[in-house]
Structures are given as structure tokens and as C-alpha cells.
Structure 1
């Protein structure tokens, strides 16, 4: 199961640095909705980082991403 999330993480980690930036998470979430549904995701992304960026570095590591993906199944698919 963890391998599935690692593969999804790698897909969203567009620069390949092993961390997800705010921009990468925003793009990932935006890809789940049609353009007409996406208005301003900054509040959603900020809330996600507040909850899941446990070390507070402004980035999501794989270990921080897995709980997020488990709680937001659309993101983990």
C-alpha cells in the first residue's frame, strides 16, 4: 500500500527533489477538478500544509504525504 502512495507522490513531485511544494500540491489538487470548479485553492492548500507538514518546513515529504493521501483518497489515486 505504501508503494502506491510513493508512486503517486513521485507523480506530483514534478521537480524530483523528494519534497512537495505548495505549488506542486496546488497543481495536484487542481488536477482533480474541472477548471470551472477551481477558483482559489490557496486556503485549502494552506489548511493541508498546516495539518500535514509536521516538521513545519513548508514542504511535504513522502512520510507527511501518505497520511494526507489516505485521508483524501482522490489525491492518492
Structure 2
């Protein structure tokens, strides 16, 4: 993982367990779009997990996070 994505992942991995939970991803998105209500983000976060949680364990690992971050300019990606 690039240092750029590693730093972003670490920023959102608030409990430091090496995985992003639904709550951590929701908080990250809410921080990027403060006008959005957290309840309104559940569908977005669900879709992100459906797409990027490739092992289906309910968490995003660092390896699963990279393609997500690479597709979101708000997370430092190029999209």
C-alpha cells in the first residue's frame, strides 16, 4: 500500500485494529460531507462494503481499502 493510502487508512482506523468498521467508514464519510446526516449515509456505506469488502467479513482491510481510496478523490485517489 502506498504511504499516502496507508496514512489515510490509519487516520480512519480509529481503534487501530487494522480494519475499518462500518462505523469508522460512516464517520469518515460524514467528516468529508458534514452537511449529510449519518442516517442518510447508511445506503452509501452499505454499497461501499458490498463492493469493496471482498472477503465479506464486514470489515475493510488495508488491501480492500486501496481500491476504494483510489476511486475517491476525497480520500486522496485520482478519480
Q: TM-score, normalised by structure 1?
A: 0.91
Matches within 5 A, 1:28-39: 28-34=28-34, 37-39=35-37
Structure with the bigger RCO (C-alpha within 8 Å, sep 6+) is: 1
Q: TM-score, normalised by structure 2?
A: 0.89
Instruction: Please state if 1:41 is matched with 2:41.
Output: yes
CA-atom RMSD, angstroms? Answer: 1.4
Runs of 5+ consecutive residues of structure 2 not aligned to the other structure = none
Query: How many residue pairs are counted as aligned between the two chains?
Result: 75
Structure (1/2) with the larger helix percentage: 2
